[in-house]
Structure 1
Amino acid sequence: MVRAIQPQDLVDSTVMDNSGSKIGKVGTVYLADDTKRPEWVTVKTGLFGQKESFVPLSGAGLEKDGLHVQVAKDQVSDAPRIDAEGHLSEKESVELYKYYGLPTPRSGDSPTTQNRGRDAAAGGMAGGTTGREAATGGAAGRGRTTGQETAKGGRRDASGDVVRSEERLRVGTEQVETGHVRLRKYVVTEDQQVTVPVTHEEVRVEREPITDAKAAGRAEIGEAEQDVVLHAEKPVVQKETVPVERVRLGTEQVTEEQTVQGKVRKEQIDIDDDTRRGKKS
């Protein structure tokens, strides 16, 4: 026998779509007033989970890795934004049913059946209640209760205790993409000047007087010539490609502090003592 999903089982569960992709975390569980069974959940999405979208529990199953629903992640992201404040009106309920392509409630249903109550994020179901469950205060009901309601919305039981609740910010982090860095190389042309030493030959005329005519040999008058080959060096330019540097991209994590803020509500306690009226202190 398959056990019915209980509200307390859904609180903070990971929600997976019909393809197994993670959508977000369960924020609030909405119960049907007639059956007291979970019918809708809101899913926390966006940065720090500040956005909540309604997701139907029709055909959903609770597994080890989270709550598997029968709708797509894109459908949840584009779902109508409804600020139910703990209670869905008939019009809002019909709008959500139509958006997800689910059968709408029968027109003959009573208003009690049409409206949907909410179970708290940490409290489970309160027995005997039909209205809205407290947002964070456990099983204290805000609909039809047997205790006496106080002016501030708390519940006073037979012992005279009043439970005071308040909201607190739950801050987390998520990794987002901030940009791309690409590494590429390209070719540029530039002029280079290199000084190269070169040598060349020049003609030098050497004259040597003859002091000993006999040793010089026989002298004759006539024409004669002598050739000398001159040599010189010239620059020769060749190009070669050589590796000069290796460049790579890497990442490092830098931790910094950022301040976030948000509005939270809390309950205050007023004491109205009618026994002190008309008395002078």
Structure 2
Amino acid sequence: MAEPIPLRDLIGRNAVDADGNKVGKVGQIYVDDETGEPQWITVRTGMFGGSRENFAPLAGCRMDGDELVLAVSKDVVKGAPDLDAEGHLAENDNDALFEYYAAFLGTGRARGTGFAGAGDDAGWTAGEAIIRSEERLHIGTERVAAARARLRKYVVTETVTQTVGLRHEEVRIEREPITEANRDAALHRGNLTEQEYEVILHSERPVVSKETVPVERVRLQTETVTEQIDITTPVRKEQIDGLEMVEGTHS
């Protein structure tokens, strides 16, 4: 058996229908004059929490977290008779509500039916129906910040080795024999003398220079990828037991 709905906590809570559509906030709770059982609630259905209150049955209602799930749809509640109860329902107003909601709840149950978990089901007659409800799973997505990516540029030093060819001059001695052909040119120098002759030798040495040049452009780009994940969550639903015969006597 379902746990009773805590009536003292209902007022001010959000009321939704079975599809999750917000109907409004619970305003007042009305009980049957004869049995004292809670029977109707009012739901503020006006725009932005306006003052208009529509009546909805407590029969078949259930709590889902902090929300009251009604047994009828949002449109049905908004189409309910427009009554100004002022804290008490007259007999004809009560009958008008039962007549209206009977078509949607599929029952002609008498007043004082209460709601899910309010008590036993004594007083039901043939042809009446039990509303079976179940939770429907709706999974959406939201965009949240998951990570931060940044580019950081820093300087590193690496050793580079390159081979370069360096030229240098070397001296060698060339000897030319004196022949009849060049004897006259050699004799004009005269007698024996001392003499020095030098040649400047040159060589190349490496000269290193550096320059900074752009070699690459790097930027951050984002792209959206889709991954498939499994969501596992419990979903409740009501079950109805098979027919149970209870013997009894009638006075």
| TM-score, structure 1 as length reference | 0.50
Deviation at 1:198, TM superposition (A): 0.8
SS of alignment partner, residue 216 of structure 1: helix
1:179 matched to 2:147 = yes
The answer to whether the Cα contact below 8 Å between 1:31 and 1:38 also exists between their aligned partners in 2 is: yes
Structure with more contact order per residue of length (Cα contacts < 8 Å, sep ≥ 6): 2
Structure 2 unaligned regions, length at least 5: 1-14, 31-40, 51-61, 82-88, 95-102
SS of alignment partner, residue 242 of structure 1: coil
Deviation at 1:265, TM superposition (A): 1.7
The answer to whether the Cα contact below 8 Å between 2:16 and 2:23 also exists between their aligned partners in 1 is: no
Q: Which residue of 2 aligns with 1:258?
A: 229
Matches within 5 A, 1:127-146: 146=111
* In 2, Cα distance between equivalents of 1:118 and 1:161: 21
Q: Which residue of 2 aligns with 1:91?
A: none
Q: Could you say if the C-alpha distance between residues 31 and 150 of structure 1 is closer, same or farther in structure 2, counting changes exceeding 3 Å?
A: closer
Matches within 5 A, 1:59-208: 61-62=47-48, 85=63, 118=68, 120=70, 123-124=73-74, 125=77, 146=111, 159-208=127-176
1:220 matched to 2:164 = no
The answer to whether the Cα contact below 8 Å between 1:148 and 1:157 also exists between their aligned partners in 2 is: no
Per-residue CA distance 1:168-207 (angstroms, 9 max, x = gap): 1111111111110001201112222222111011111111
Q: Find 1:267's aligned residue among 230, 233, 238.
A: 238
1:32 matched to 2:28 = yes
Deviation at 1:259, TM superposition (A): 0.9
Q: Find 1:247's aligned residue among 218, 236, 246.
A: 218
| TM-score, structure 2 as length reference | 0.55
What is the aligned length? 180
Q: Find 2:200's aligned residue among 229, 239, 253.
A: 229
Structure 1 unaligned regions, length at least 5: 1-6, 14-25, 40-59, 69-83, 89-116, 130-137
The answer to whether the Cα contact below 8 Å between 1:29 and 1:118 also exists between their aligned partners in 2 is: no
Per-residue CA distance 1:156-179 (angstroms, 9 max, x = gap): 787433332211111111111111
Per-residue CA distance 1:82-121 (angstroms, 9 max, x = gap): xx94799xxxxxxxxxxxxxxxxxxxxxxxxxxxx94628
Rg comparison, structure with higher value: 2
